[in-house]
Amino acid sequence: MLVLRLLNVVAPAYFLCISLVTFVLQIFVFIPSMFRDPSTTPLFSPALLHGALFLFLSANALGNYVLVIQSSPEDLGKDLNLGKGAEVADWLDGSRSPGSALPSTHFCRLCSRVTQRHDHHCFFTGNCIGSRNMRNFIMFCLYTSLACLDSLVAGMTYISATLSMSFADPLAFLALLPHSISQFFSGALLSSEMFVILMLYLWLGIGLACAGFCCHQMLLILRGQTRYQVRKGMVVRARPWRENLQEVFGKKWLLGLLIPVLNEESNYQRQKEK
């Protein structure tokens, strides 16, 4: 438990550090040194368009990240009917009476909070993911994967121009790391260039992980399930996939896709249905 609590503090700091490094590299290294085309007007220059795209992806990723943290499951726990005389400890030892709370509610030992429609505890946000912040969490994963992909393409373009190498061969990227390590220790490669190469693989790993997690989470949402229900073997009531999507993303799903906003429609929807 001590290790998990330590991870709950270190993981968000690690994510924010990676985000800061990515932002600095994009704004102060990649964009100024790449896409220089004198024939284009400044308004439609590739550097400006790329910068606008990166800022849009970063703003959505960071905005949804903040909303996931601010949407505390503790607020939901205050509105749940835990039953007369029930205490938080009842959620730990399993002594709560049947029907004393909504289905799929769960007490997290790391957060010390009750989460409605608990899915899992996210260490990178230091918060539990439930009905209130599920949409923001999915949007956070989506835009983080897109921002990593954007940074990966920009970084490869920068390395290609700096080291005069081509990535036309798909295997060139796989051979880049061992080749650059040997050049770095031989003194032929600068430490800044080596750092960018390491960041390329980090962006690739984070982007693929977030994209895979987002796809798997969407599959569970379409089936009307949560990770907690699957792990505990709980049987859920079959509903049309459109209702499951609307419960998570709300009727104004397009707004949430473009702008980081809370989905207030889904907070107590399941409670009203029950």
Q: With helix as H, strand as E and coil as C, how does 205-258 read?
A: HHHHHHHHHHHHHHHHHHCCCCHHHHHHCCCCCCCCHHHHHHHHHCCCHHHHHH
pLDDT tens digits along 134-180: 999 999 999 999 999 999 999 998 999 888 888 888 788 888 999 89
Which residue(s) pair with 166 in the sheet? none
Return the active site residues: 122
pLDDT tens digits along 172-223: 888 899 989 998 988 888 999 999 999 999 999 999 999 999 999 999 999 9
pTM, rounded to two decimals: 0.85
pLDDT tens digits along 20-68: 999 999 999 988 876 565 555 565 677 888 889 999 999 999 999 999 9
CA torsion, points 189, 193, 198, 203, in degrees to nearest 10?
A: -150
Q: Is the dihedral of CA 230, 235, 236, 241 positive or negative?
A: positive
Where along the chain do its domains lie?
Answer: 1-36+43-73+118-273
pLDDT tens digits along 67-100: 998 876 554 445 544 444 444 545 444 444 444 4
**Cβ atoms within 10 Å of 125's Cβ, excluding its own:** 23
The one-character DSSP state at 165 is -
